Structure formats: C-alpha cells, structure tokens
Amino acid sequence: MTPYSLARPLLFRLDPEKAHELALRALDLAGATGSARLLAGCPVEDPVDVMGLRFRNRVGLAAGLDKNAAHVDGLAGLGFGFLEVGTVTPRPQAGNPRPRLFRLPAREALINRMGFNNDGLDVFLANVARMRYRGVLGINLGKNADTPLERAADDYLTGMERVYAHAAYITINISSPNTARLRELQTHDALDELLAALAAQRARLAREQGRTVPLALKIAPDLDGAQVQAITALLLRHGIDAVIATNTTLARDGVAGLPDADQAGGLSGAPLRATALQRLRELRALLPPEYPIIGVGGILTADDARARIEAGATLLQLYTGLIYRGPSLIGQCARAARDAARRAPAHEPAGSRANGKRSPGA
C-alpha cells in the first residue's frame, strides 16, 4: 500500500485534467516541505553519461505533464533521473476546448487532445529562472497552432534561441497528433529542411555561448519502416544527438469498444507499449549502437523498463504510467533499467562525455 494507492481512487473520481492540476499542486507542497520522498521512496543513484550530460538515473519525466516548467522542484523530489518540460510554443495558447483528456482505466490508458495548451516562452523562462533544480532539464519545443506549417521552422528557431542558455538538451517535437498538420514535418523533405535550419542555428549559438546543447527529435509511433529509415538518415546527416520514441498514437488497437475510445486525440499507456517497443527496435537496428534513444510509451512496470533497455533504449521516460501506478514506478523502473543496462553493456553510449561540454559541431 503506497500513499498514491490511497490517493488514486479520489483523484480518479475527479475530471482527469482537474485531478492532474490538483496532483501537481500537492507535489509542489510536498517539494516545499521535503516530503516528496514519502511518495516515491529513495531516489535511485545510477549515474550515466549520455549526450555529454550526466543523468542521475535512466528514468525521466516525459514532456507534457509540466508544460510551463511550473512544477519542476516538486517533480524533482520524486527521484527522476531527468525532467523534460514543455511542450512550450513561442506565444501562449489555450489549446483545445475541454474536455480534452480522457481516462481508459480498463486498459491503463489515456487519450488526450490538449493541443499544446501553454503560457508561452516568456512565462516558461520566468519559471525556469525561479527553479532550484540543478539536474538535467530537457526543454521540449513546439509550434503555435496558428503558425502556418510553411513557417513552422521560425517557431522552433525562436524557441531554441530563447531556451538555449537554460536547457541541458532541447527536444524538437514534431509528433503531437493534436496540432493540425504538425506530423507532416516528419516527411523527408520537410524534416531535412527543418533539421538543417536547427543544426545551423545550434552551431551559431554554440559558438556564441561556448556550449553545445544536444538536440533530440521526438517522433510518432505511427510511422512505417521507410519513414523510420528516412528519419534515422536525417538524424545522422544533421548531427541530431538523440531520438525520443515515441509520442502518442492515433491507433486504437486494444481499446476499441471501451468508453471514450473514440475520442479524438493521442492514445498513451499500456495499449501503446507494443508499438513504441517496435519503433525502438527498428531505430536501434538502423542507428549506430552508441546513438542515444530515449524510450517512451506504455512503460507501466519494471518489466517494461527492462524490456526497453534490452531492446536498445539508452534512457526512458514515463507519463501515463505515473497516473496509473504512481511515483513509486520511477524507482522501480530506474532499478530495473540499471540492472538491465549492466547485463547488456552493448548499448552503453561508447562516446559518453561526462563534462557536459563539447566543442561546437562535435
């Protein structure tokens, strides 16, 4: 019996988005009073060097739970190895009308069509300036809904310019299903152009600021083999440092007939597990053994974490599992990932650099 198993039935009686806001506020309080460890247990210390950064352990928070970087210190108390905040867009936007988040408890799944609701870069950066957290902070960037697709690169470039000095790594999110046409940026020519622009700006910022911030690309699970192959070639061509696989799925495998299964949006949690694992396997087969892959999607148990590391993930992220299993999942997954990585050293990043600094363009 964990504190979360007591709180969950109460939270699940509330509207999902309200429950989410309440839980984050409770977490802020727990962070302020130093009681977060009561929820999550002792953090797992398993330092690992990836992308030139030192991670406390292999299990991070996936993007979307803290879109405005408003709860970083509370979340940090739960023992994550790293935190990814955002998606942040240049200008504030309301996202889709509520309700836009649905629980499918029979399958430990969520469907969301939040639509990048966030307070924009000004508020985001003010929040980052206030946080006390000193661990690895990934910042996930998106485009505003009303920015035409042809101008999408401008939004990512603006985001990169503004967050560069504050991010341990930056994620380019082109895989949310809830911003019209966003996923078209995953097609070969659009992605080639976008990554070229981002890599050029990163090289300039690295020269100006004396620090190369790693870039990660977050992809959808709904890609065929040819698309995955095209994406891996572009990651390598443009010197992108990592890939995050995967975002939510448009498929409804395993949930058909359940209440709310037909809601528009992206499905996450247990029904995404097999597809996310499959995309990870394809990526690992196509990318060099030391290339960092962050595995996310349907990790709800220590066994899931172990399977993802064995399939070649370097790091992991959690979202829906936290809602269904609570914060104790973080430590369980971090321990399982540590043990699996020790058994399968082939996936250890060979070129790992612990000092966090790389020469521009390296």
Ligand X SMILES: Cc1cc2nc3c(=O)[nH]c(=O)nc-3n(C[C@H](O)[C@H](O)[C@H](O)COP(=O)(O)O)c2cc1C
Active-site residues: which are they? 176
Report which of 103, 80, 150 is spatially closest to residue 294, judged by C-alpha positions. Answer: 80
How many residues of this chain interact with ligand X, rule: CB under 6 A? 27
Interface with ligand X, residue 110, by CB under 6 A: yes
Interface with ligand X, residue 144, by CB under 6 A: no
Cβ proximity to ligand X: between 292 and 321 the closer is 321
Cβ partners under 8 Å of residue 67, min gap 6: 85, 86, 87, 88, 116, 117, 118, 119
Of 85, 318, 333, 334, which lies in the binding site for ligand X, with binding defined by CB under 6 A?
Answer: 318
Interface with ligand X, residue 319, by CB under 6 A: yes
Beta strands in the chain (DSSP E): 48-50, 53-55, 59-61, 82-88, 101-104, 109-112, 137-141, 169-173, 215-219, 242-245, 266-269, 293-296, 315-318
Q: Tell which positions 112-131 bind ligand X, by CB under 6 A.
A: 112, 114, 116
CB of 62 to ligand X, least distance (A): 3
Interface with ligand X, residue 67, by CB under 6 A: yes
Of 89, 147, 248, 275, which lies in the binding site for ligand X, with binding defined by CB under 6 A?
Answer: 248
- Identify the DSSP state of 138: E
Cβ partners under 8 Å of residue 43, min gap 6: 37, 56, 57, 79, 331, 334
CA 111 – CA 85 distance, rounded (Å): 20
Q: Tell which positions 33-52 bind ligand X, by CB under 6 A.
A: none
Of 30, 48, 50, 63, which lies in the binding site for ligand X, with binding defined by CB under 6 A?
Answer: 63
CA 166 – CA 159 distance, rounded (Å): 11
Q: Tell which positions 176-235 bind ligand X, by CB under 6 A.
A: 176, 218
Interface with ligand X, residue 321, by CB under 6 A: yes
Residues that bind ligand X (CB under 6 A): 62-64, 67, 87, 101, 110, 112, 114, 116, 140, 173, 176, 218, 247-248, 268-269, 272, 296-299, 318-321
